[in-house]
Chain A
Amino acid sequence: MKTSFFSLLIWLGVALLGAAAVGGIALNRGESINALWFITAALCVYAIAYRFYAAWIAAAVLCIDETRATPAERLNNGRDFMPTNRWIVFGHHFAAIAGPGPLIGPTLAAQFGYLPGTLWILIGAVLGGCVQDMVTLFFSTRRDGRSLGQMARDELGSIGGIAALVATFLIMVILIAVLGLVVVNAMKHSPWATSTVAATIPIAMLVGLYMYKLRPGRVLEGSALGVILLLLSVAGGGWIDQQAGLRELFDHPGLPLAFAVIGYGFAAAVLPVWLLLAPRDYLSTFMKLGTVILLALAIVWMRPEIKMPALTQFVDGTGPIFGGKLFPFVFITIACGAISGFHSLIASGTTPKLLANERDIRMIGYGGMVLESLVAIMAMIAATVLDPGVYFAINSPAGVVGKTAAEAVATISAWGFPVTVEQMNRLAQQMGETTLFARTGGAPSLAVGMASIFGSAFGEHLLALWYHFAIMFEALFILTTLDAGTRVGRFMLQDLLGNIWQPLGRTSWYPSVLFSSAVVVAAWGYFLYIGVIDPNGGVNILWPLFGISNQILAAIALCVATGILVKSGRLRYAWITALPLAWLVIITSTATWQKISSDDPRIGFLAAANSLSDKLAAGVLPPDKAAVAPQLIFNQQLDAALVLFFAALLWLIVIDMLRVCARHLRGRAVPPLSEAPHYPTRLEEAWQRD
Chain B
Amino acid sequence: MATRLTGALRSLWRAVRRLSGDDGYERYLAHQAAAHPDAPALSRRAWFALQQQQKWSGIKRCC
Which A residues contact B (CB, under 8 angstroms)?
Answer: 76, 78-80, 82, 85, 87-88, 91-92, 96-101, 175, 179, 211-213, 216-220, 223, 273-274, 277-278, 281-282, 335-336, 340, 342-343, 345-346, 349-350, 480-481, 484-485, 487-488, 491, 507, 546, 550
Supply 18 A–B pairs (Cβ within 8 Å), ascending by A: A78-B35, A79-B28, A87-B15, A96-B61, A101-B63, A212-B48, A212-B52, A217-B24, A217-B44, A219-B24, A273-B53, A278-B56, A481-B61, A481-B63, A485-B61, A491-B58, A507-B57, A546-B63
Of the candidates B20, B27, B59, the one whose C-beta lies within 8 Å of that of A219 is B20
Chain B residues, CB < 8 A from A82: 31
Of the candidates B53, B55, B62, the one whose C-beta lies within 8 Å of that of A343 is B62
Chain A residues, CB < 8 A from B49: 212, 274
Give the nearest-CB partner of B47 in chain A: A217
Q: A491, B57: Cβ atoms under 8 Å?
A: yes
Chain A residues, CB < 8 A from B16: 220
Q: B59, A336: Cβ atoms under 8 Å?
A: no
- Whole-angstrom distance between the alpha carbons of A350 and B44 in the complex? 24
9 more A-B residue pairs beyond the given contacts A101-B63, A216-B44, A278-B52, with a C-beta to C-beta distance below 8 A: A97-B62, A99-B61, A217-B45, A217-B48, A274-B48, A336-B63, A343-B62, A346-B62, A481-B61
- Whole-angstrom distance between the alpha carbons of A487 and B57 in the complex? 8
Q: Mark B1-37, 1 if CB is under 8 A from A, else 0.
A: 0000000000000011111111011011001100100
Give the nearest-CB partner of B46 in chain A: A216
Q: Lowest 8 CB-CB distances: which A-B pairs, in order?
A: A78-B31, A101-B63, A216-B45, A484-B61, A217-B48, A273-B56, A220-B22, A219-B22
Q: Is the interface of A mostly helix, strand, loop or mixed?
A: helix
For the A-B complex, the count of residue pairs with Cβ-Cβ distances under 8 Å equals 108
Q: A78, B15: Cβ atoms under 8 Å?
A: no
Q: A484, B18: Cβ atoms under 8 Å?
A: no
Chain A residues, CB < 8 A from B62: 96-99, 101, 340, 342-343, 345-346, 481
Assuming A78-B31, A79-B51, A278-B52, is B57 touching A350 (CB within 8 A)?
A: no
- Whole-angstrom distance between the alpha carbons of A665 and B21 in the complex? 47
Chain A residues, CB < 8 A from B63: 99-101, 175, 179, 335-336, 340, 342, 481, 546, 550
- Whole-angstrom distance between the alpha carbons of A441 and B22 in the complex? 36
Chain B residues, CB < 8 A from A79: 28, 51, 54
Of the candidates B32, B48, B56, the one whose C-beta lies within 8 Å of that of A484 is B56
Give the nearest-CB partner of B45 in chain A: A216
Q: B45, A277: Cβ atoms under 8 Å?
A: no
Chain A residues, CB < 8 A from B57: 491, 507
Assuming A101-B63, A484-B61, A491-B57, is B19 touching A92 (CB within 8 A)?
A: yes
B27 to chain A, nearest CB (A): 7
Assuming A487-B56, A488-B58, is B19 touching A217 (CB within 8 A)?
A: no
Chain A residues, CB < 8 A from B31: 76, 78, 82
Q: B18, A85: Cβ atoms under 8 Å?
A: yes
Of the candidates A88, A212, A349, the one whose C-beta lies within 8 Å of that of B59 is A349
Chain B residues, CB < 8 A from A80: 54
Give the nearest-CB partner of B49 in chain A: A274
- Whole-angstrom distance between the alpha carbons of A101 and B62 in the complex? 9
Chain A residues, CB < 8 A from B59: 345-346, 349-350, 484, 488
Of the candidates A96, A212, A220, the one whose C-beta lies within 8 Å of that of B60 is A96
Q: B18, A88: Cβ atoms under 8 Å?
A: yes
A251 to chain B, nearest CB (A): 30
- Whole-angstrom distance between the alpha carbons of A262 and B51 in the complex? 28
Give the nearest-CB partner of B21 in chain A: A219
- Whole-angstrom distance between the alpha carbons of A216 and B21 in the complex? 12
Q: A88, B15: Cβ atoms under 8 Å?
A: yes
Give the nearest-CB partner of A343 in chain B: B62
Give the nearest-CB partner of B44 in chain A: A216
A655 to chain B, nearest CB (A): 27
- B16, B55, B62, most chain A CB atoms within 10 A: B62
- Whole-angstrom distance between the alpha carbons of A421 and B28 in the complex? 61
Give the nearest-CB partner of B18 in chain A: A88
B26 to chain A, nearest CB (A): 9
Q: B21, A484: Cβ atoms under 8 Å?
A: no
Of the candidates A175, A273, A485, the one whose C-beta lies within 8 Å of that of B52 is A273
Q: B24, A349: Cβ atoms under 8 Å?
A: no
- Whole-angstrom distance between the alpha carbons of A274 and B47 in the complex? 12
Chain B residues, CB < 8 A from A487: 56
A228 to chain B, nearest CB (A): 16
B34 to chain A, nearest CB (A): 9
Chain B residues, CB < 8 A from A211: 48
Assuming A80-B54, A345-B62, is B19 touching A216 (CB within 8 A)?
A: no
Chain B residues, CB < 8 A from A491: 57-58
A468 to chain B, nearest CB (A): 24
Give the nearest-CB partner of A79 in chain B: B54
B36 to chain A, nearest CB (A): 9
Q: B32, A78: Cβ atoms under 8 Å?
A: yes
Of the candidates B20, B47, B48, the one whose C-beta lies within 8 Å of that of A282 is B20
Chain A residues, CB < 8 A from B52: 212, 273-274, 278
Q: A88, B19: Cβ atoms under 8 Å?
A: yes
- Whole-angstrom distance between the alpha carbons of A501 and B25 in the complex? 38
- Whole-angstrom distance between the alpha carbons of A282 and B24 in the complex? 14
Of the candidates B22, B47, B54, B56, the one whose C-beta lies within 8 Å of that of A277 is B56
- Whole-angstrom distance between the alpha carbons of A342 and B47 in the complex? 30
- Whole-angstrom distance between the alpha carbons of A92 and B16 in the complex? 12
Give the nearest-CB partner of A148 in chain B: B59
A377 to chain B, nearest CB (A): 17
Chain B residues, CB < 8 A from A273: 52-53, 55-56
Chain A residues, CB < 8 A from B20: 219-220, 223, 282
Of the candidates B18, B21, B45, B58, the one whose C-beta lies within 8 Å of that of A212 is B45
Give the nearest-CB partner of B56 in chain A: A273
- Whole-angstrom distance between the alpha carbons of A273 and B58 in the complex? 12
Give the nearest-CB partner of A274 in chain B: B52
Give the nearest-CB partner of A488 in chain B: B59
B56 to chain A, nearest CB (A): 4
B3 to chain A, nearest CB (A): 22
B50 to chain A, nearest CB (A): 8
Chain A residues, CB < 8 A from B58: 349-350, 488, 491
Of the candidates A217, A336, A346, A488, the one whose C-beta lies within 8 Å of that of B25 is A217
Give the nearest-CB partner of A178 in chain B: B63
